[in-house]
A = this chain, B = another copy of it.
Amino acid sequence: MREGVEWAVHCCINLSFISPDRAVPAARLAAFHDLPTAYLNKQLNALGRAGIVSSRSGPRGGFRLGREPEKITLMDVAAAIDGSARAFLCTGIRHQGPAGRIAGPAGHRTPCTVSQAFSRAELAWRRRLARQTIAGLADEVRRANPAAPDHVRHWFDRT
């Protein structure tokens, strides 16, 4: 999974602490975690294409959440940044060499047992990510450090 996923999730949590009326420039979101702006901007644009953030151009432009943080899951963010990339890649070796000749044409019509087994595990992973929202993570941050949301909001207000 690309490191952009970590960046994007933290940015979404930070944006959830800020007034939804307020657009934050990419440079400011990057500065908060000392990240390279150009590369973070790429991730923010990917979030934008998925509707997770919305952007406004102009002097008071920037990014804000595109919908309520209760409606943004970790699966949404991971898919926006990482695509629908799968952890297990089936290259179809069961069709290669003598194995392929033994399986015969029928082997090409049935799904690969090994690939399906890994797919079941990936589905469990995706389901777990889909149950965790930005709002839920923001709540966890708040419980661990009750002053954090205010501190974050104040830092972004000082722009």
Residues of A within 8 A of B (CB): 1, 3, 5-7, 9-10, 13-14, 31-35, 74, 87-91, 93-94, 96-99, 102-103, 106-107, 110, 113-118, 120-129, 132, 137, 140-141, 144-145, 148, 151-152, 155
Min CB distance, A99 to chain B, in Å?
5
Min CB distance, A89 to chain B, in Å?
6
Contacts of A34 in B (CB 8 A): 93, 96-97, 99
Contacts of A124 in B (CB 8 A): 124-125, 127-128
Which label, helix, strand, loop or mixed, suits the secondary structure of the A interface?
helix
Chain B residue nearest to A142 (CB atoms) is: B113
